[in-house]
Amino acid sequence: MCNSKNISVVLKEFEQLLQLKYSGRTPANYLYHVKLFLNYSDNVPLRVNNEDILNYNISIRNKSNSFRNVAINAIKSYFKLYLRKQVKGFSSIRPPKEYKKPKVYDCYILSEKIQNIENKKHKAILALSLCCWLRKSELLNIKISDINGSLMTLKINQSKGCKDRVVIISENTINILREYHKEYKPKEYLFEGLNGGKYSSTSVDKITKKYLYKDMRFHSLRASGATFALSNGTDLKTVSKILGHKHIQTTEYYIPILYKTIKQAI
């Protein structure tokens, strides 16, 4: 096995490169998988090769397809960013992707549930998420300076794929945010924890289930909003842009049933 000190140094340097290249949870996820790979390999970190990749892939063959795909992406990134060399043959060992289509809910019912929430912070979190179709990481990273109240816009910085985008906030949601800000007075991030800093991901999940549906995942707010827009005549390209999807095909897959119905109607 590799020397643990060597691995720790390499991982620390690799983490810095990941932070420059990726955003959200990707750096942490990739670092985790590369650490597993390097600890498994008999080679030192700078000398790992195709054979090491193949052997490691065999060792995780009983893991889920999703786990294995992320592992391969992470190892590819390690070779490209840190070792500065390309490795061929990844496609031959890559399992098919497992897509979990988000469940979609009625936006009228969601809006009514959110409107009746008494806690102003919880109300603001869910209202903004539904209005702007936010990923959880995007929600937690919003700073006060990202909100433009007069223009009623939200700037989402360094989202998935390290892309920025600007989305419109409805007047009702702006008013909800103003009431929340007046009471809680956050200092840096729009939504902060009791001791300052970013609001926790776990707390977001809890309030989603508490106020909306017990089995609801936060990501369904995003899917429900996009589905509602499509069903009311918004074109797919616009929906894709607001979601922050790099390829329109991602949006087609994201809401397949509704999109298929619309295409048939046309």
pLDDT in tens, 76-103: 999 999 999 877 666 656 776 655 667 8
Band of pLDDT at residue 124, cut at 50, 70 and 90: very high
Mean pLDDT along residues 140-151: 94
Give the integer Cα–Cα distance in Å for 137 and 129.
11
User: Residues for the chain: how many in total?
Assistant: 266
Strand-pair category, 147-148 with 153-156: antiparallel
> How confident is the model at residue 3, as a pLDDT?
44
Q: Residues 17, 23, 25, 26: what is their CA dihedral angle, to the nearest 10 degrees?
A: -50
233, 122 in Cβ contact below 8 A?
no
> How confident is the model at residue 266, as a pLDDT?
47
What average pLDDT is seen over the chain? 86
> How confident is the model at residue 91, as a pLDDT?
60
pLDDT in tens, 196-246: 889 999 999 999 999 999 999 999 999 999 989 888 888 888 888 888 887
**Among residues of the chain, what percentage have pLDDT more than 70?**
86
Mean pLDDT along residues 144-161: 87
Mean pLDDT along residues 116-143: 96
Task: List Cβ neighbours of 102 (8 Å cut-off, separation of 6 or more).
Answer: 217, 219, 220, 222, 223, 254
Sheet with 153-156, edge to edge strand ranges: 147-148, 153-156, 165-168
Q: What is the pTM of this model?
A: 0.65
> How confident is the model at residue 235, as a pLDDT?
84
Q: In the predicted model, is pLDDT for residue 142 greater than 50?
A: yes
Mean pLDDT along residues 241-252: 79
14, 81 in Cβ contact below 8 A?
yes
